[in-house]
Amino acid sequence: MSVTNIGKQFGGLVALKDVTADFQEGQITAIIGPNGAGKSTFFNILSGALKPSSGTLRFRGADMAGVPQHDYVHRGIARSYQITNIFPNLSVLENVRVAAQAFRSRMNIWADRSADRDSEDRASAMLASVGLSARAATPAKFLAHGQQRALEIAIALVADPALLLLDEPTAGMGPEETREMVALIEKLAAQRTILLVEHKMKMILGLSDRVLVLHHGQLLADGTPTEIQANSEVRRVYLGQNDGYA
Amino acid sequence: MSVIKNAELVPAPARRSFATLFSNVSRWRVPLSILALCILPWVLPSQALAVNVLIYGLVAVGYNLLFGYTGLLSFGHAAFFGAGAYATGIAIGAFGIHWFIAMLIGVLVSGLLATVMGVLAIRTRGIYFSMVTLALAQLVYYAALQASSWTGGENGLRGFTVSTLHLPGFSVNFLDPLVKYYAIMIVVAAALWFVSRVLNSPFGAVIEAIRENETRARACGYDVERTKLLSFILSGILCGLAGTLSAMHISIVPLDSLHYHTSGLIVMMTLLGGAGSFFGPFIGALAFLSMEDIFSLWTSNWQLIVGVIFILFVLYLPKGIWGTLISWGKSR
Best to test chain A binding among B20, B66, B215, B216 (most A CBs inside 10 Å): B216
Closest CB to A109: pick one of B201, B208, B213. Answer: B201
Residues of A in contact with B202 (CB under 8 A): 101, 104-108, 111, 113, 116
Q: How far is the alpha carbon of A1 from chain B, nearest alpha carbon, in Å?
A: 18
Q: What is the pLDDT of residue A191?
A: 85
Task: Find residue A2's DSSP bridge partners.
Answer: A22, A58
**Any idea of the CA torsion for B246, B250, B251, B254, to the nearest 10 degrees?**
-70
Closest alpha carbon to A95 in B65, B67, B221, B220: B220
For A64-119, the three-class secondary structure string (H helix, E strand, C coil) is CCCCCHHHHHHHCEEEECCCCCCCCCCEHHHHHHHHHHCCCCCCCCCCCHHHCHHH
Cβ contact B218–A69 (<8 Å): yes
Q: In terms of residue numbers, what domain contains B177?
A: 46-259
| Chain B residues bordering chain A (beta-carbon distance below 8 Å) | 197-198, 200-206, 208-209, 212-213, 215-224, 226-227, 230, 234
Positive or negative, the Cα torsion across A231, A233, A238, A242?
A: positive
What's the alpha-carbon Rg for chain B, to the nearest Å? 21
Tell me the C-alpha distance between A52 and B51, whole Å. Answer: 57
In B68-176, alpha helices (H): 78-95, 99-121, 126-146, 148-151
b/e string for B40-56 if b means 16 or more Cβ within 10 A? bbeebeebbbbbbbbbb
Comparing alpha-carbon positions, the chain A residue that sits nearest to B199 is A109
Whether B87 is in a domain gets the answer yes
Tell me the C-alpha distance between A40 and A35, whole Å. Answer: 9
Q: Does A29 touch chain B (CB under 8 A)?
A: no
pTM of the complete model: 0.91
Closest CB to A85: pick one of B203, B216, B221. Answer: B216
Positive or negative, the Cα torsion across A170, A172, A175, A180?
A: negative
Q: How far is the alpha carbon of A120 from chain B, nearest alpha carbon, in Å?
A: 12
List Cβ neighbours of A184 (8 Å cut-off, separation of 6 or more). A130, A150, A153
Cβ contact A106–B206 (<8 Å): yes
Q: What is the pLDDT of residue B282?
A: 94
Please state whether beta strands A193-197 and A28-32 pair in parallel, antiparallel, or not at all (unpaired): parallel
Q: What is the pLDDT of residue B14?
A: 52
Tell me the C-alpha distance between B114 and B117, whole Å. Answer: 5
Return residue ranges of chain A for CATH 3.40.50.300.
1-76+163-180+193-246, 78-160
Comparing alpha-carbon positions, the chain A residue that sits nearest to B198 is A109
Residues of A in contact with B213 (CB under 8 A): 85-88
Q: State how far the alpha carbon of A71 is from the alpha carbons of A47, B194, B217, B264, in Å.
A: 10, 30, 12, 37
Q: What is the pLDDT of residue B5?
A: 39
Can you list the residues of chain B whose pLDDT is less than 70?
1-17, 332
Task: Find residue A223's DSSP bridge partners.
Answer: A211
Whether B298 is in a domain gets the answer no
Closest CB to B216: pick one of A86, A89, A101. Answer: A86
Residues of B in contact with A118 (CB under 8 A): none
- The CATH class that applies to domain A78-160 reads alpha beta
Task: Find residue A7's DSSP bridge partners.
Answer: A54
Q: What is the pLDDT of residue A203?
A: 84
List Cβ neighbours of B140 (8 Å cut-off, separation of 6 or more). B79, B82, B83, B113, B258
Number of compact structural domains in chain B? 1
CATH code at A1-76+163-180+193-246: 3.40.50.300
Q: Does A11 touch chain B (CB under 8 A)?
A: no
Best to test chain B binding among A47, A106, A141, A151 (most B CBs inside 10 Å): A106
Tens digit of pLDDT per residue, chain A (246 long)? Answer: 788 888 888 888 888 888 898 888 889 999 988 888 888 899 899 999 999 999 999 998 899 988 999 999 999 999 999 888 999 999 999 999 999 999 988 889 999 988 899 999 999 999 998 889 999 999 999 999 889 988 999 999 999 999 999 998 888 888 888 888 888 888 888 889 999 998 888 888 888 999 999 988 888 889 898 888 888 888 887 655 554 443
Whether B268 is in a domain gets the answer no
Q: How far is the alpha carbon of B118 from chain A, nearest alpha carbon, in Å?
A: 17
